Amino acid sequence: MLDRPLTLRGGLVIPNRVAVAAMTNLQSHPDGLLSDEELTWLARRADGGFGLVATCAAYVALDGKAWPGELGIDRDACLPGLTRLAARLHQGGATCMVQLFHGGVRADPALTGTPTWSASTWTEDAPGFTPPRIGTLDDIHRTIDAFAVAAARAEAAGFDGVELHGAHGYLLSQFLSRTMNPRDDGWGGDLAGRARLVRECVRAVRARVSARFGVGVRLSFEDFGQARGMDLDDNLAVARWLADDGADFIHVSLWDVTRNTAKRPDAHALPLVREVLPADVAIFTAGKIWTRAEAEAVLAKGADVVALGRSGILNPDWPRDEHVTRPPVTRVQLAERAVSPVFADYLTKWKNFVSD
């Protein structure tokens, strides 16, 4: 099953069911332009047989940039590097996508030069947290346009699709949140209002790209980490709406694919999502998948594509190699896997991942 191609409903073909998950890696240049390190890291996975390779989260507007070394897709100056990257990933045999991103309150004013904004303002008991200002209608419409223009830019660069990052507590997730978005102007409050931003972004993206260009959304279905105010039934409804709006796939972001949902402890998220989506809308998922047997079990639950994060870092030939390396690993081993020193430094923050 893992080796079978998948055709999305617009006609885009992914050569197998194994993807590199979009991951923060801090490897781009300070101005958001592509670096050789970023290209080498992704190209190694394309060469290793991954059917789909996704970039790290790429900011669609400067006020959404969240960390140093984040890839940009916010201006035409990014096009030469993006074009080079898409061509190299295709050379390796992979379908390739850009993950489109806006950090909202998780953006970094030190990088953007502007205060953060979101659906509303609130405080968190976290070091260095600065409450966001309330986003204006101009902010909202400007951001919808930024997602659409970024998607068109990705297609112009030669990419095959985009994934809108609507998970993990970033801007689109902040608007979806029951706790972060009490707006009463049609862009918050009830579910229709809270889902309006991500839906308008998908519609705007779909209108700016070709029918074959893949469009998907990554969603957190329940609370975890910075994703707060997420309700399972709310987001099942949102997933269906997004399919109606033109999404070709929904990426179900699960931190652990073996766990059932918190709201329905007897039910796994994947069959629930499969039940609400049209049959021709694909499901991607990620979350502690290491072996082929684990990946096949995830497909059996209803997923169409498994996206590998940590296992993809340590096993660049995962689709072709039965041997699985697990952490901890040394910096030398990471370098052998096309992980740059700056990415390796970032990985030291993951408990028991880097051994020296």
Tell whether 1 is covered by a domain: no
CATH number where 115 lies? 3.20.20.70
* Alpha helices, DSSP H, located in the chain: 36-47, 79-91, 109-112, 137-157, 171-176, 191-194, 196-208, 232-245, 269-276, 292-300, 310-314, 331-336, 341-347
348 contact partners, CB below 8 Å, separation of at least 6: 354
Q: Is the pLDDT of residue 126 over 90?
A: no
Residue 266 CB neighbour total at 10 angstroms = 6
Instruction: Give the number of domains in the chain.
Output: 1
Token digits of residue 177: 């949140």
**The domain containing residue 125 runs over which residues?**
6-325
Mean pLDDT computed over 39-53: 98
- For residue 287, give Cα distances in angstroms to 32, 110, 172, 349: 28, 31, 21, 18
Tell whether 331 is covered by a domain: no
Is pTM beyond 0.85 here? Answer: yes
Query: Rounded CA gap, 257 and 273, in Å?
Result: 14
Residue 53: which pLDDT band, with cuts at 50, 70 and 90?
A: very high
Tell whether 78 is covered by a domain: yes
Mean pLDDT computed over 102-114: 97
Tell whether 153 is covered by a domain: yes
Tell whether 317 is covered by a domain: yes
Helices (H) and strands (E) in the chain, counts: 13, 13
Query: Rounded CA gap, 290 and 170, in Å?
Result: 27
Residue 181: which pLDDT band, with cuts at 50, 70 and 90?
A: very high
Between CA 186 and CA 176, with CA 171 as vertex, the angle to 5 degrees is 50
Is residue 16 a contact partner of residue 51, using CB atoms and an 8 Å limit? Answer: yes
Tell whether 219 is covered by a domain: yes
Structure confidence by residue, pLDDT tens digits, 213-260: 999 999 999 999 999 999 999 999 999 999 999 999 999 999 999 999
* Catalytic positions: 170
